[in-house]
Amino acid sequence: MKPCLAQVSTLEASFADDVTEYAAGKCGAIEIWLGKLDQYLEKHSLEDVRKLLAEHHMAAPVASFQGGLLTSQGEARKVHWESFEHRLELCRELSIGTLVLAADVNGPLTQQDLDRVQVSLTQAAQAAGRFGMRLALEFQARSAFINNLQTAVAVVAEVGSPHLGICLDAFHYYVGPSKTEDLGYLSAENLVHVQLCDLSGTAREFAADGERILPGDGDIPMAALLARLTEIDYRGHVSIELMNPQIWRIPPRQFGEIAMTALRKLLGQASMD
């Protein structure tokens, strides 16, 4: 397992500061937040991004996130898919191999909607393949469909593409209808990316993204999740992803240091070498 920090965790800092300060905090891989990258590219070139990452020996294996693809229709669908194609091209230019795809499926749903989801996932995987990339489908706890790990695995298996796998987000796994035994559906073949966080003193029914804290400090039972990752010999990246406005105010170097310490504690130094 390879440690990684998600840029969204320090949302108020700039793209360049994240790279520079995470590196100073002994982080060697970053999960790019595409909104920040877009802002940086308003005044810089792709070559500037490459040089910044290279200068600080920072890998960028994953980008987050793409939404709106699965059930949108008409003009909205056109806009989302054009954005998707642009992001695939952007990721290819920066050698980012994985793009997180949100299963943002709103209800109520008809059978036509469910069929549209499957077709859209198949088309998205085909598009990713053309760019030499993988998509990591992130099930959403509040989604009307694909809101749990078991369903996400089944849908990915139905598509049957090497360019589509699973993003396991600890928040959505914990607050949604997923069960511990669902971890058994994960394999080294279908698991593409992992995002960790924690919650403390919050009922799962009411938990919000803004309440995410560092993993290991709260109530989410990490032992079974981490044990399954070890069991399947997962060798991909494990990122800390927090959307907590209080944590956004922490300088990125300080965040990088404490987040990497949390990852070392959870994963063990040997698994990160």
Q: Assign 273 a pLDDT band (cuts: 50, 70, 90).
A: very low
Report whether the peptide linkage leading into residue 65 is cis, meaning its omega lies within 30 degrees of zero.
yes
**N-terminal to C-terminal alpha carbon distance within the chain:** 9
Going by C-alpha positions, the residue among 65, 27, 13, 18 that lies closest to residue 259 is: 27
**187: DSSP letter:** -
- Whole-prediction pTM: 0.95
Please write the tens of the pLDDT for every residue from 129-165.
Answer: 999 999 999 999 999 999 999 999 999 999 999 999 9
What integer best gives the mean pLDDT of the chain? Answer: 95
Please write the tens of the pLDDT for every residue from 28-73.
Answer: 999 999 999 999 999 999 999 999 999 999 999 999 999 999 999 9
Going by C-alpha positions, the residue among 187, 165, 173 that lies closest to residue 100 is: 165
Structure tokens at 126: 């085909």
Please write the tens of the pLDDT for every residue from 233-264.
Answer: 999 999 999 999 999 999 999 999 999 999 98
What CATH number is associated with residue 135? 3.20.20.150
pLDDT for the residue numbered 217 = 79
Residue count (the chain): 273
CA dihedral 63, 27, 93, 105 (to 10 degrees): 0
Domain count, the chain: 1
The C-alpha atoms of residue 214 and residue 263 are separated, in whole angstroms, by 9
- Per the DSSP assignment, residues forming a β-bridge with 134 are 98
Flag whether pLDDT at 270 surpasses 90: no
Give the residue ranges of DSSP H helices in 58-194. Answer: 74-93, 111-130, 149-159, 170-175
- How many other C-beta atoms lie within 10 A of the C-beta of residue 228? 19
The C-alpha atoms of residue 249 and residue 244 are separated, in whole angstroms, by 9
Flag whether pLDDT at 118 surpasses 70: yes
- How many other C-beta atoms lie within 10 A of the C-beta of residue 57? 9
**60: DSSP letter:** E
Residue ranges making up the domain that contains 218: 2-272
Flag whether pLDDT at 9 surpasses 90: yes
